[in-house]
Amino acid sequence: ETGVTQSPTHLIKTRGQQVTLRCSSQSGHNTVSWYQQALGQGPQFIFQYYREEENGRGNFPPRFSGLQFPNYSSELNVNALELDDSALYLCASTPGTGLYNEQFFGPGTRLTVL
Amino acid sequence: RKEVEQDPGPFNVPEGATVAFNCTYSNSASQSFFWYRQDCRKEPKLLMSVYSSGNEDGRFTAQLNRASQYISLLIRDSKLSDSATYLCVVTGETGRRALTFGSGTRLQVQP
């Protein structure tokens, strides 16, 4: 186990609804990244938080937003859900600043939008 | 053009076989390189980092060619437990620690 936890495990929503996904990073990790993984694809970078500030964003619309808290846990919020938002959402935490620091992934939240 | 391209497979090989995966990346500014392994319906896990000098970890050997923007992974003496999807990963422009993944190559090792 990586020590990174995510909740909920599974979620079913309908189009137009809003969803909040949560991630608890490994102890001592100050950087959290969120990824979206559609079926049959590799994970796609959504955004990254470092010490509560957004530190990079991928090619996702503004309806994808996030937060990082002082204890370095994090939330991903998605507004106005669309069918294509159905995917596995992964968070990953990492310590330090080294280029080769390992990112530890949580088990993911599987979101289904109907 | 995708930033990181891999052959999707699947690669079906017998136990004991040697299998090689290739990957190309488009961003010459990429700074670090990895192979991750993902089992079905699980999270990705780091298999190994890839350095310019090449590196080996037991049955696994990874190589990087920065001039050709090419990364490879060689698995020798395949085991049934090696069956998984192998993801080629680089760091890209969106952030030094943000990972850019390929779509993955699926490996199925047959008894």
Inter-chain touch B32–A44, beta carbons under 8 Å? no
Q: What is chain A's length? A: 114
Query: What is the per-residue pLDDT across A37-59, written as a single tens digit (0 to 9) for each?
Result: 999 999 999 999 988 899 889 99
Q: How far is B32 from chain A (nearest CA, A)?
A: 6
Alpha-carbon gap, residue A46 to B13, rounded angstroms: 35
Instruction: Give the pLDDT confidence score for residue B93 in this predicted structure.
Output: 56
Separation in Å, CA of B104 to nearest CA in chain A: 6
Give residue B48's pLDDT band: very low, low, confident or very high (50, 70, 90).
very high
Query: Which of A31, A42, A99 lies closest to B3, judged by CA?
Result: A42
Q: Strand B19-25: give its sheet, edge to edge.
A: B4-6, B19-25, B70-75, B60-65, B55-57
Q: Would you say residue B92 has pLDDT above 70?
A: no
Other Cβ atoms within 10 Å of A65 Cβ, number: 16
In whole angstroms, give the CA distance from residue A43 to residue B7.
Answer: 16
Out of A45, A100, A107, whose CB is closest to B32? A100
Minimum CA–CA partner of B46 in chain A: A102
Answer yes or no: is pLDDT of B90 > 70. Answer: yes
Mean pLDDT of chain A: 92
Size of interface A-B (CB pairs under 8 A): 64
A90 vs B contacts (CB less than 8 Å): 43-44
The set of residues, in sequence order, having a beta carbon less than 8 Å from that of A103 and lying 6+ positions away, is: A33, A92, A93, A94, B46, B97, B99
Query: What whole-number distance in Å separates Cα of residue A31 and Cα of residue B101?
Result: 18
A-chain residues near B49 (CB < 8 A): 100
For residue B94, give the nearest of A56, A103, A108 by CB distance: A56
Q: pLDDT, tens digit, for every residue of B21-47?
A: 999 999 888 888 999 999 998 999 999
Q: Taking a C-beta distance cutoff of 8 angstroms, is the pair A66, A76 a contact?
A: yes
Cα A11 to Cα A111: distance, rounded to the nearest angstrom: 5
Mean pLDDT over all residues of chain B?
92
CA of A47, closest CA in chain B: separation in Å? 8
User: Encoding tokens for residue A75?
Assistant: 């939330």
